[in-house]
Structure 1
Amino acid sequence: MTSAEARARRESIVELAQDAGPTGVDDLSVRFAVSPSTIRRDLARLTADGRLARTYGGAMALTASAETSLQRRTDEAAEAKRAIAALALTRIAAGATVLFDAGSTVAALARALRGVAGGVTVATPSLSAVFELGGAEGVHLTCLGGHYRPLSHAFVGPLAEAALERMTFDAVFLGTDGVSPALGICEADAEQIRLKELMARRSHRVYVLAHAAKLGASPFHAWAPWQPGWTLVTDTSADPALLDALRAREVEVLLAPPTSD
């Protein structure tokens, strides 16, 4: 069996757990015509990647909303993400030292930064940002190591946190899976949230990049609370009531107009 077939089977297992609830090893073995030991290896891999929770004899979805892969999210709200990236780019001064989080909108910012002169230094745990900026003229690039999360194409954990403790930044650009005026910014697990909070503490300015559909969304249960002075960069289709609620918490709001392309 090829690695592509194994990846496809694991994706199907995640979708099945999300749609049908807890799934058993024996049932999955029959459904996919593979041995129970193969299914157990699949479940172990999916659990290690943070996509499923193991149960006795099987697995279940972690939350009511399954975390989707970065590749799948890249094409969502693409025009809004380009607009947000273009506006965020204006907050990066020549010679600045900045920190790029994981996520498709931050990756769009990395793409926008490519080719911009000025000796900008970028540190990031995101392989997507590394791929966008590797070899880019005028960009000095540092990659934070750690435990690799395939879903987000990024590193998390103690090694990434230890690296951050030895650096400071003019600004950080954070991604998020959801935005709540009351709760803050949302991620799939506590390890990601802990890293975001450390990124924010090591940075003079904090920008959260999120297109309008993420405002009011709470797909997961790990949150980083808003701090006064943080800035949300979103698009002009955002709900005005939600934006007012954020401003009431001393969050600056920047609205990105549509791009011309």
Structure 2
Amino acid sequence: MNSSKNPKMLAAERQRYILEAIQKTGSVSVAQICEHCGVSSVTARTDLDAMEREGQLKRTHGGAVPVTQLVIPAVPQRVHKNACAKQAIGRKAAELVEDGETIIVGSGSTTLAFLHCLGEKRGITIITNDINGLIYTERFLPQAIPACTGGILGREYRHFAGPMVASSLSDIYLDKVFLGADAFEPDFGFLAEFERTATTKVEFMRHARKAIVLMDASKVGAARSFVRFAAPTDVDMVIMDKDPGGVVAGAIAGTGGGGRVVLA
């Protein structure tokens, strides 16, 4: 981070700096914000208060620290689970993104955690069907270009699905797609909870050379019925916090598809 003052820094740039400072050092103070951004303590505190309301951080006396859980406003409670694992996966996945690249990012809490780790990237374009991801990109990644697919908006999970997703991507082909998964069965593959979500993920994979799945260890073994969007042989990489018993790596290796598991 550059410690020099920047009196022309916009609110979105200040808030991105705050998130970066917390991620790198574990905290940020009002004095740091004033020094780096060239603003008054009133403005710094206003930024921190607004970010706390949105679940981006936790306010402390004289500054802020990370939230202990991944908090996303207006989405189901399940996104709060395994927040530390999702953040570690997101950081590892961010290493695969190059400046100037265009990527597709699917919906979900783990892929949103991935977006939180892209603040250092420059000139990237992020195509997504996820409303929360689109809003985060627009507000906190000023160096990125947000792009949204078409589709029917599912209000409960706030992402687009349906035939218009395919039509909006008809002329697009790029290097990488990053997808979440609701479950994994070694003999079957990667699963989504709903058919419309699975169909969208399949469509995304058609438009990228490399399919990268972001999935924490709790998703190994499906306790409920899900819909497959990819067999083990269909993906190029799975980024996980841990692979219980090497189940995922074993399933991928057994298919001879050339994919691999990377631990965050």
- Give TM class, smaller chain: 0.5 to 0.7
Higher relative contact order, structure no. (Cα contacts within 8 Å, ≥ 6 residues apart): 1
Length-normalised TM-score, structure 2: 0.66
Which residues of 2 match residues 222-261 of structure 1 at below 5 A?
Answer: 222-226=227-231, 227-236=233-242, 238-249=244-255, 250=257, 251-256=259-264
Give the Cα–Cα distance (whole angstroms) in 1 for the partners of residues 105 and 235 of structure 2.
Answer: 18
Query: Deviation of residue 218 (structure 1)?
Result: 4.9
Q: Is the 8 A contact 1:187 1:220 kept in 2?
A: no
Counterpart residue type for residue 114 of structure 2: L
3-state SS of the aligned residue for 1:166? coil
Query: Deviation of residue 95 (structure 1)?
Result: 1.0
Which residues of 2 match residues 80-159 of structure 1 at below 5 A?
Answer: 80-113=85-118, 115-135=119-139, 136-159=141-164
Give the Cα–Cα distance (whole angstroms) in 1 for the partners of residues 148 and 247 of structure 2.
Answer: 38
Aligned length: 187
Query: Deviation of residue 247 (structure 1)?
Result: 2.4
Counterpart residue type for residue 185 of structure 1: F
Q: Is the 8 A contact 1:70 1:103 kept in 2?
A: no
Q: Which residue of 2 aligns with 1:259?
A: none
For the aligned residue pairs, the C-alpha RMSD in angstroms reads: 1.8
Give the Cα–Cα distance (whole angstroms) in 1 for the partners of residues 162 and 212 of structure 2.
Answer: 22
The 10-residue stretch of structure 1 (81-90 or 222-231) with the greater mean CA deviation from structure 2? 222-231
Counterpart residue type for residue 243 of structure 1: A
3-state SS of the aligned residue for 2:224? coil
Q: Is the 8 A contact 1:179 1:218 kept in 2?
A: no
Q: Which residue of 2 aligns with 1:27?
A: none
Q: Which residue of 2 aligns with 1:10?
A: none
Give the Cα–Cα distance (whole angstroms) in 2 for the partners of residues 165 and 234 of structure 1.
Answer: 31
- Call closer, same or farther: CA 1:220–1:164 in 2, change over 3 Å: farther
Q: Which residue of 2 aligns with 1:203?
A: 208
Give the Cα–Cα distance (whole angstroms) in 2 for the partners of residues 218 and 169 of structure 1.
Answer: 34
Query: Deviation of residue 243 (structure 1)?
Result: 2.7
- List gaps (5 residues or longer) in structure 2: 1-73
Q: Which residue of 2 aligns with 1:72?
A: 77
- List gaps (5 residues or longer) in structure 1: 1-68, 257-261
Identity %: 25
Superposed CA deviations along residues 153-200 of structure 1, whole A, max 9, x for unmatched, are: 100001112111221121000011101222111112222111111101
